[in-house]
Amino acid sequence: MLASVMAPLWACILVAAGILATDTHHPRDSALYHLSKQLLQNYHKEVRPVYNWTKATTVYLDLFVHAILDVDAENQILKTSVWYREVWNDEFLSWNSSLFDEIREISLPLSAIWAPDIIINEFMDVERSPDLPYVYVNSSGTIENSKTIKVVSACSLETYAFPFDVQNCSLTFKSILHTVEDVDLAFLRSPEDIKRDKKVFLNDSEWELLSVSSTYSILQSSAGGFAQIQFNVVMRRHPLVYVVSLLIPSIFLMLVDLGSFYMPPNCQARIVFKTSVLVGYTVFRVNMSNQVPRSVGSTPLIGHFFSICMAFLVLSLAKSIVLVKFLHDERRGGQQQPFLCLRGNTDADRPRVEPRAQHALITESSFYGEHLAQPGTLKEIWSQLQCISNYLQTQDQTDQQEAEWLVLLSRFDRLLFRSYLFMLGLYTITLCSLWALWGGV
């Protein structure tokens, strides 16, 4: 009776014990643990992982440009975010997968194994980027190290064609210590695949990625030859925002200034108009100065255009001011009043009147002359008539000089206008040509 009752109980106890034994495997009993321990137990990361030291370790490189973060033309610095891959074979980290539960790939700490000392020649600084401490190793000993890098590199930036500029910046990868006899470089993908691959590029910034061409070369030095791979990142700027906010307003201001040449050269309103345009153009340049890149090596073409247009504007304004002042002084200096002839012959006795009262004064002088000549002689009358004649001759000479100056300055005005129009047309054609070349890249 007791045996029949205990039999099912012992069966339940054994089943429960089996389940617990199945769920409480120790990590040391796993094939992955034994494989990792076996690979790293006698591993020396200070030694290049080859059995034959005369055999070079080939490192295969690959690069994806993820984003263009900043282009600093003033400091000649390019900031990019790239996805970088390097693959090499470690002869000390291979195993037979059939002996380790068919494990064909594991991850190991990068700090625990040998890694190639690959650097970027153009490195200036490395911004904070995600740290990936592990690498993948397969059963044949092939190691793949993939990481995202925010690269701050030096680049020769040309801004002459701004905002239709195309930049070419290089990232050169090489071993800092090992010569080509120890560490060689090669492409993980074909150069053609690398050149046109833009699938991971974020094309929502100011710059558009055109291509990433790559070349292999050996740099010779006194220490030996060093293998290097150069990736040329070719990019172009999106110009539409600068065309709308910078180029069109500047051309509009120049066209407004050209309209002032249709005003008479001796018109004082022309000075006021040109002064207003000059002030507006100066304010526009100050507000837009932050949008134009500054570069020590080259000045943007639109910067030259702004300076030339400013020079034309100032020259035209100065010419108008000098002309108006000269004509005003000529009129004041040439005004001889009929009263001088009637009251005396000395300069101290000669009063001055406004030009618009000249004809009235001549008429009045005849009236006053009749009263003043009553006690006088014919000699006094003749002297007064000579004085009036001299005044009229002087006035005719002043008018003639004014007309000559107006003709001369009108010719200068036409020359300045044509030069201004030529520069504006040349600038517009140049910008359109640069835009067409930009679109054809």
The residue written with tokens 């004085």 in the block is 387
pLDDT average, residue stretch 304-311: 82
Enclosing domain of residue 179: 39-237
Residue 93 pLDDT: 93
Instruction: Give me the percent of the chain exceeding a pLDDT of 90.
Output: 31
Please give the pLDDT value at position 223: 84
CATH of the domain at 399: 1.20.58.390
- Checking if the pLDDT of 209 tops 90, the result is yes
Same domain for 259 and 145 = no
Q: What is the three-state SS of 101-133?
A: CCCCEEEEEHHHCCCCCEEECCEEEECCCCCCC
- Checking if the pLDDT of 409 tops 50, the result is yes
Q: E strand or H helix at 435, and its extent? A: helix 378-440
Domain membership of residue 19 (yes or no) is no
CA distance 312 to 309: 5
Asked if the model's pLDDT at residue 294 lies above 70, the reply is yes
In terms of domains, do 298 and 223 share one?
Answer: no
169 plus 303 within the same structural domain: no
Please give the pLDDT value at position 292.
80
Looking at residue 13, what is its pLDDT? Answer: 47
Strand-pairing partners, residue 153, are: 78, 123
Of 222, 237, 252, the last residue of a domain is 237
pLDDT in tens, 79-120: 999 999 999 999 999 999 898 889 999 999 999 999 999 999
Is 185 exposed, middle or buried, given 0-12, 13-18 or 19+ CB atoms closer than 10 A?
buried
Q: Please identify, among 219, 237, 255, the residue that sits at the C-terminal boundary of a domain.
A: 237
* Domain co-membership, 222 together with 313: no
85/162 same-domain check? yes
pLDDT digits (tens, 9 = 90+) for 338-381: 444 544 444 444 444 444 444 444 444 454 445 544 545 777 77
Question: How high is the pLDDT of residue 233?
Answer: 95
- DSSP per residue, 131-162: ---EEEEETT-EEEEEEEEEEEEE-----TTT
